[in-house]
């Protein structure tokens, strides 16, 4: 295993960091928390012009045919910048799912729109049960003529308020196992019968309740195979868990750098507080967590990029990083003291995102169970 980045990947990292420092200042992050859309169309357009939306999409659909490891670099920098907007939803959740399981007609129609920044996608998976397993899928898709009628409620659908298309995970049949009878549908978000309600979240991101009331969709909207969609969802969840780990690594790195700089600059008792052993140990624990999180996350990303079996490694990464990011932010707050808890300080931006990311795509407890299953206990 070689986790050293290539020259092109190092250039991508530098370009992404420079771009986000300039185009995504903390003022924009704060403004987008209050904005109805939750993202800047102008910034979205510039990202599309850089080829970020199509980075990992096949070249024949307007993409750059990059690897998942290339995407991992972008995601870390986005987490570092607290980038607002539907990039994760559109690319990781939507476009990569279509690339893997969509029909040729679906790919030709939608992927070029994603690559050019003209289409926003998302996936509606979780429901009021708020669990990430197949037995949490109860939204019904009943056959009607040449199509299906979707009825039910999805919760915590990211960026559904601005999505053009929603990949809805529905139940088309009841089988012996919960995984049987799950089907994915690509649904126009403007279809009659769809209601989208924004939810108030700790991270001030755009999570939505999406209600489907007898929404008619054609059979051509099916993504993958009827009744066998859970295999696609499982791979989607693995990609998303790794992607969220990488965002958390970027955020944790920024918190570490902010804290170390503060420890050097803040003078108390006629000396920088970084000269005190307790503060030094806090920072040492932080850098240990950050570097450990980066290594375990990039190992999972590399294995995923290479097409290697990595269910255990992904679950290990999400279980570890979910808690390590929280530890890093808590220690950062302790070093900063009272100022770190003020609304005007950047620390609270990362604290709130750390808590939201900890729960996304399964918390640490959920993934420890997966690790235990992988090792046979």
Residue 136 has pLDDT above 80, yes or no: yes
**Are residues 171 and 100 in contact, defined by beta-carbon separation less than 8 angstroms?**
no
Cβ atoms 81, 43 nearer than 8 A: no
Q: What is the tens place of the pLDDT at every residue in 327-371?
A: 999 999 999 998 988 999 999 999 999 999 999 999 999 999 999
Please state, for a pLDDT cut of 90, what percent of the chain lies above it.
96
Confidence of residue 257 (pLDDT cuts 50, 70, 90): very high
Output the average pLDDT for the chain.
96
The distance from CA 147 to its chain's CA centroid, rounded to whole angstroms, is: 31
Q: What is the pLDDT of residue 341?
A: 87
- State the pLDDT at residue 234: 97
Domain 7-119 has CATH 1.10.540.10: yes
Quick one: tokens of 115?
Answer: 């690559």
**CA gap 9, 307 in Å, rounded:** 19
pLDDT at res. 1: 57
Q: Is the pLDDT of residue 253 over 60?
A: yes
**pLDDT at 27 (0 to 100):** 96
pLDDT at site 139: 97
Span 161-204, pLDDT tens digits = 999 999 999 999 998 899 999 999 999 999 999 999 999 999 99
Nearest to 245 by CA among 318, 305, 302: 318
Model pTM?
0.94
CA-CA distance, 331 to 315, in Å (whole number)?
A: 25
- Alpha-carbon gap, residue 94 to 98, rounded angstroms: 6
- Per residue in 284-339, pLDDT (tens digit) is 999 999 999 999 999 999 999 999 999 999 999 999 999 999 999 999 999 999 89
3-state percent breakdown (helix, strand, coil) of the chain, nearest 5: 55, 15, 30
CATH number of 123-227: 2.40.110.10
* Residue 223: C-alpha distances to residues 11, 97, 158, 278 (Å): 35, 8, 19, 54
The pLDDT of residue 5? 86
Q: Name the architecture of domain 231-374.
A: Up-down Bundle (1.20)
Residue ranges with strand state E in the chain: 121-124, 140-144, 147-158, 165-171, 182-188, 194-199, 207-218, 222-223, 267-268, 271-272
Asked if the model's pLDDT at residue 151 lies above 60, the reply is yes
For the residues of 348-373, what is the DSSP string, one character each? HHHHHHHHHHHHTTS-HHHHHHHHHH
Give per-residue pLDDT as tens, 221-248.
Answer: 999 999 999 999 999 999 999 999 999 9
Burial degree of 277 (CB within 10 A; 0-12, 13-18, 19+): exposed
Domain ranges of the chain: 7-119, 123-227, 231-374
pLDDT per residue over 23-73, tens digit each?
999 999 999 999 999 999 999 999 999 999 999 999 999 999 999 999 999
With contact defined as beta carbons under 8 Å apart, do 90 and 132 qualify? no
Q: What is the pLDDT of residue 2?
A: 65
| Residue 4, pLDDT score | 80
């Amino acid at each position: 295993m070689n986790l050293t980045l290539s020259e092109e990947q190092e250039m991508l990292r530098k370009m992404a960091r420079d771009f986000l420092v300039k185009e995504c200042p903390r003022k924009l992050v704060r403004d987008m928390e209050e904005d109805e859309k939750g993202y800047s169309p102008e910034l979205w357009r510039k990202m599309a012009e850089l080829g970020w939306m199509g980075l990992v999409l096949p070249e024949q659909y307007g993409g750059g045919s990059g690897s998942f490891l290339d995407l991992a670099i972008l995601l870390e920098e986005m987490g570092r910048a607290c980038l607002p907007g539907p990039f994760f939803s559109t690319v990781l959740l939507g476009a990569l799912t279509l690339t893997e399981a969509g029909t040729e007609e679906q790919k030709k129609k939608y992927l070029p729109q994603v690559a050019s920044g003209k289409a926003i996608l998302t996936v509606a998976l979780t429901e009021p049960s708020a669990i990430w397993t197949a037995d949490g899928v109860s939204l019904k898709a009943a056959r009607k003529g040449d199509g299906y009628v979707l009825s039910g409620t999805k919760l915590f659908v990211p960026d559904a308020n601005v999505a053009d298309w929603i990949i809805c995970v529905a139940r088309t049949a009841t089988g012996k196992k919960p995984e049987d009878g799950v089907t994915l549908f690509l649904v126009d978000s403007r279809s009659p019968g769809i209601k989208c309600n924004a939810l108030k979240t700790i991270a001030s991101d755009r999570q939505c309740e999406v209600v489907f009331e007898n929404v008619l969709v054609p059979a051509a909207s099916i993504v993958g195979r009827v009744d066998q969609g859970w295999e696609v969802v499982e791979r989607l969840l693995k990609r998303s868990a790794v992607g969220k780990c990488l965002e958390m690594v970027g955020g944790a790195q920024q918190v570490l750098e902010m804290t170390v700089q503060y420890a050097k600059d803040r003078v108390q008792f006629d000396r920088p507080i970084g000269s005190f052993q307790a503060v030094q140990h806090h920072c040492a624990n932080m850098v240990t967590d950050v570097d450990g999180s980066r290594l375990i996350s990039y190992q999972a990303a590399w294995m995923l990029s290479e097409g290697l079996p990595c269910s255990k490694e992904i679950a290990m990464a999400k279980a570890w990083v979910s808690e390590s990011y929280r530890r890093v932010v808590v220690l950062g707050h302790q070093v900063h003291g009272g100022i770190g808890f003020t609304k005007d300080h950047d620390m609270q931006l990362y604290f709130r995102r750390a808590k939201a990311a900890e729960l996304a795509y399964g918390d640490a407890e959920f993934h420890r169970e997966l690790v235990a299953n992988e090792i046979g206990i």
